Amino acid sequence: MRSLWRTLDGGLLRDIALVCLAVGVIGLSYGAVAVTSGFAWWFPVLMGALVLAASSEFLFIGIIAAGGSPIAALLAGLLVNARHLPFGLAVPDVLGRGWRRMLGTHLMNDETVVFAIAQDELSNKRAAYWTCGLGILLCWPVGAALGALLGSVVEDTATLGLDAMFPAVILALILPALKDRALRRTALAGVALALAATTFLPTGLPVLAALAALPLFTVFTAKAAEGAAR
């Protein structure tokens, strides 16, 4: 594992560190929201380590806090995490075998997959995936623990604006990739679908709706190739 990490350059390590930091900051909000919603301080920490999926954890706590049943909250969380199915198909060669594959599957999330597929060489894909995954495994529960402590002191944690940091960092990371016209048009189509879906879908599900735009990437790429051939 240590030999894999040596393949990462300084710029990529910096980007991974920023994402892990952002995840930890969102963990502050998560832990604080959980405690102010009536959960024990250890609950978001335990969930953070065992589930390791922010959107489904926020949704679970939100449904319970609103008076919903644990079964409904569980099913909603599983539905949101259905996005991990295409994630697994995107990085099958990164996870390894045996216990490493089991641990690697647990570390699978939006950030680890994005960093992995952005690399060219398999060794770099594995290094980026595992470095980011283990960093998040540390930062998310620790952030949740600090947030639980914060929630016992600050009543309205939304005023701190912690939720804005994570999407801002992710946007900064993907901006260079959006120079590709086909990818940019596909991303914009996905954004439009997600925004439209927020009017009738609960939190977390609009992201899944955005996946419906993925086939457009093939269409846009083919049109770009045709235009270049003329």
- The C-alpha atoms of residue 50 and residue 147 are separated, in whole angstroms, by 17
Classified as helix, coil or strand, 142 is helix
CA angle (86 as vertex; 83, 89 as ends), nearest 5:
150
Same domain, 96 and 155: yes
- The C-alpha atoms of residue 53 and residue 229 are separated, in whole angstroms, by 44
Query: Structural domain tally of the chain?
Result: 2
Same domain, 213 and 136: no
Same domain, 151 and 201: no
Same domain, 109 and 213: no
Same domain, 137 and 204: no
Task: Note the pLDDT tens digit of each residue in 139-156.
Answer: 999 999 998 888 777 666
Dihedral sign, Cα of residue 177, residue 180, residue 181, residue 183: negative
Same domain, 159 and 70: yes
Same domain, 171 and 194: no
Q: Which of 175, 201, 221 is the last residue of a domain?
A: 175
- The C-alpha atoms of residue 211 and residue 206 are separated, in whole angstroms, by 9
Same domain, 105 and 36: yes
User: Average pLDDT, stretch 12-39?
Assistant: 87
50: amino acid identity, one letter: L
Secondary element (H or E) of residue 185: helix 181-197
Same domain, 171 and 185: no
User: Average pLDDT, stretch 190-213?
Assistant: 81
Same domain, 184 and 133: no
CA angle (85 as vertex; 126, 165 as ends), nearest 5:
70
In 3D space, the residue among 209, 189, 188 whose CA is nearest the CA of residue 198 turns out to be: 209
Q: If you average pLDDT over every residue of the chain, what do you get? A: 81
Range of the domain at 204: 180-230
Task: Note the pLDDT tens digit of each residue in 93-113.
Answer: 888 788 888 898 899 988 898
Same domain, 59 and 144: yes
Same domain, 185 and 102: no
